[in-house]
Amino acid sequence: MKLAVLMILGISVSLGDSASTPEKATPPVITQAQVDVWTKSWQKRLDLGEWKITTQIVRATDLRPDTLGNLRWNSDNKSAVIKVLNPLDYDLPPAEIPVDIEYTVLHELIHLQLSVLPHDGSSKMVEEKVVNRIGEALFQLEKGPAYHSRTSLAKNYIKPRGNNEASRSKSAPQ
């Protein structure tokens, strides 16, 4: 009888250990549906209702190096595609990834809102600073005092882009 109890306890303990290890190594699951909800919510708040905006979760190879997201738009037909980095390719602690992906969606939508302004080479750095400041203010209002800024990763840098593209950088160029 004692042997049977010990065997059951041993099996339970060993199953419990093996079940918890993969959870620690697996990043949080971000679904396309979650990203779509964030996109629609921020699209509405930024009064971009006339735009048809699609958001895609993509691997790092589908983005420019050292970026967390990308936006391409067509002003003529009011369409835009936002690409956000897949959680599997993030270098952040898993608990911080969902907030960062939502912030990337907001960041790219602010670029879309500013797309009506004239763009030239000299205004790219200024636009990125403005986008980050607006994004941080909106996110602080939405998330409350517990929110801690992530833009220190990219606040002074922007990747080169055309007149209908913007990207959120994740690190400063060397």
Cα 34 to Cα 55, 99, 118: the distances in Å are: 10, 11, 33
Measured at the CA of 119, the angle between CA 142 and CA 67, to 5 degrees, comes to 55
**Residue of 157, 160, 171, 165 whose CA lies nearest to 128:** 157
What does the CA dihedral 116, 168, 101, 87 come to, rounded to 10 degrees?
A: 140
Number of neighbours of residue 117 by Cβ within 10 angstroms? 9
The answer to whether residue 19 scores a pLDDT higher than 80 is no
Alpha helices in 26-96 (DSSP H): 32-45
Question: What are the strands of the beta sheet with 52-58, ordered from one edge?
Answer: 52-58, 79-85, 67-74, 165-169
CA gap 15, 12 in Å, rounded: 5
Using alpha carbons only, what angle is made at residue 99 by residues 93 and 104, rounded to the nearest 5 degrees? Answer: 110
- Please name which of 44, 45, 55 lies closest in space to residue 80, comparing C-alpha atoms: 55
Q: Provide φ and ψ at 39, rounded to 5°.
A: -60, -50
Contacts of 171 (CB under 8 A, 6+ apart): 66, 153, 154
Is 148's pLDDT higher than 70? yes
Global confidence as pTM: 0.74
Is 29's pLDDT higher than 50? yes
Look at residue 84 and give its three-state secondary structure. Answer: strand
**pLDDT value at residue 157:** 34
CA 28 – CA 44 distance, rounded (Å)? 26
Digit-coded pLDDT (tens) for 120-144: 777 788 888 899 999 999 999 998 8
80-113 pLDDT, tens digit per residue, is 999 999 999 998 888 889 999 999 999 999 999 9
